[in-house]
Amino acid sequence: MAKQLVAEINDRDTVNAVFLVKDKIMAMPKNGKPYMNLRFMDKSGDVDAKIWDNVDELDKLFGKDDFVQIRGKASIYMNKMQVVVAEIKRVPDNEVNLADFLPESPRPKDEMHRELLQVVADLSNPYLRLLMESFLSDAVFFELYTTAPAAKAMHHVYLGGLLEHSLALVKLGKSVISLYDGIHEDLLVVGALLHDVGKIHEMSFERAFDYTDAGKLLGHITIGVELVEEKIRQIDGFPRELAMLLKHMLLSHHGQYEYGSPKRPKTIEATILNYIDDMDSKINGIKAHIAKENASASRWTAHHRLYDRYFFKSNGMDEEMEMHHLAVPEHVMETVPEVRSQLEQRQEKQCFSNQPLKALENLDLF
């Protein structure tokens, strides 16, 4: 029997499967009856879950990062899939394949490795190329850098996410360079590759992704600058100003003090990096948020806590395809009843879609 994946859970489904416990939080409402907030995950994604009954007894059976066999019922709540758990038990580690429970980048790992090596080989600045070669020749570093997720929850939340995100910034940076003169391409490329390098030690990703002690106490920006400084010290004659400019890019890539940046961008390259980093992370995060709610029939997502807004799921592409498919001359339409019926159905659908959402029209949340 095939494993039931998170991404395949539909409204009203009975859920009987093994998952990894990503989050486990006890809650106590005003009525004094405790309940449990959970999040289960596998390689296809994650899903929220609740335990309402026998909470104290079931709490003793498992913990965060355990594998569990659960039985429950799925339903849509606030536009999000949720599983109400009736039974749960811990599954020994030796009975599962870890690869079935950790999400991976949609890009093939070997393809990204080759792209990374080619980007480094194309660097013309000898010091920046030596710096990157020094990093990539370190087998432990290479494994961590090419395996780490880019974040715990915000964007590229899967193995290989850090590399996928960094390579995307290289491409975005080069597209910006093609529009403007006087930009240090190699500096921007290496800044893109190393801006989040500290995440290899900021996060643990052997099980459910979480922050390490170093991640909580120092953060990836501080860790990243330390890693870069250590490698630069090993390269004879590395220009001091070039080192300073590169470290400034790491220190300022979050853009503003309130977003965790020790410094705001003060060079063209650092400014570009800040904007393309923000763009790529947000696009990936928003797309993931929308995809996670495909099971809901609503055209709007649930409220996104980090972005503090709802997102509209449709971008018009499906309707354009439908209109293109149904672009039939009037004289032909009159002779083909099926085409007329399709057009009338589409018009009815458009009229319905344009009616106000009564439950939302008084909410100023968009």
State whether 43 and 118 are in the same domain: no
Is 281 in the same domain as 336? no
Domain of residue 152, CATH code: 1.10.3210
Measured in degrees and rounded to the nearest 5, phi and psi for residue 84 equal -95, 120
Q: pTM of the full predicted structure?
A: 0.78
Is residue 88 pLDDT above 60, yes or no?
A: yes
Same domain, 226 and 335: no
Over residues 162-181, mean pLDDT? 97
Cα within 13 Å of Cα(208), Cβ side: 19
CATH number at residue 76: 2.40.50.140
Domain-embedded: residue 300: no
In a domain, 210, yes or no: yes
Last residue of a domain, which of 51, 76, 100? Answer: 100
- The pLDDT tens digits for 141-170 are 999 999 999 998 889 999 999 999 999 999
Query: Do residues 94 and 128 share a domain?
Result: no
Q: Answer yes or no: is 297 within a domain.
A: no
The Cα-based distances of 27 to 55, 70, 163 in angstroms read 10, 20, 37
Nearest CA-CA partner of 21 in 101, 76, 113, 126 = 101
Domain assignment present for residue 251? The answer is yes
The answer to whether the CB of 274 falls within 8 A of the CB of 280 is no
The residues that bridge with 82 in the sheet, in sequence order, are 48, 75
Residue 66 within a domain: yes
Q: What is the pLDDT of residue 352?
A: 41
Looking at the fold, whether 222 and 148 belong to one and the same domain comes out as yes
Question: Which residue bears the tokens 């570093």?
Answer: 141
Extended beta strands in 184-272, E state = 203-204, 210-211
* 80 and 228 both lie in a single domain: no
Helix (H, G, I), strand (E, B) or coil at 263: coil
Inside any domain, residue 364:
no
Residues 276 and 142 in one domain: yes
Distance of CA 125 to the CA centre of its chain: 32
Q: Of 55, 73, 100, which residue constitutes the final position of a domain?
A: 100
Instruction: Mark whether 172 and 213 lie in a shared domain.
Output: yes
Report the pLDDT value the prediction gives residue 353, as an integer from 0 to 100: 42
User: Which domain covers residue 60, as residue numbers?
Assistant: 6-100
Contact 68, 90 (CB under 8 A): yes
> Do 134 and 208 fall into the same domain?
yes
Q: What tokens does 324 get?
A: 């293109």
Q: What is the pLDDT of residue 328?
A: 53
Average pLDDT over residues 290-295: 76
Same structural domain for residues 184 and 224? yes
How high is the pLDDT of residue 78? 81
pLDDT digits (tens, 9 = 90+) for 232-283: 999 999 999 999 999 999 999 999 998 889 999 999 999 999 999 999 999 9
12 neighbors 74 (Cβ within 8 angstroms): yes
pLDDT per residue as tens digits for the range 26-45: 998 888 889 999 999 999 98
Residue 261 lies in a domain: yes
Number of domains comprising the chain: 3
Together in a domain, 155 and 266: yes
Region 70-76: mean pLDDT is 94
Q: Does residue 301 fall inside a structural domain?
A: no
249 lies in the same domain as 123: yes
Residue 83, phi then psi, degrees to nearest 5: -115, 125
Sign of CA dihedral 247, 248, 254, 258: positive
The single residue listed with the structure tokens 């709540």 is 77
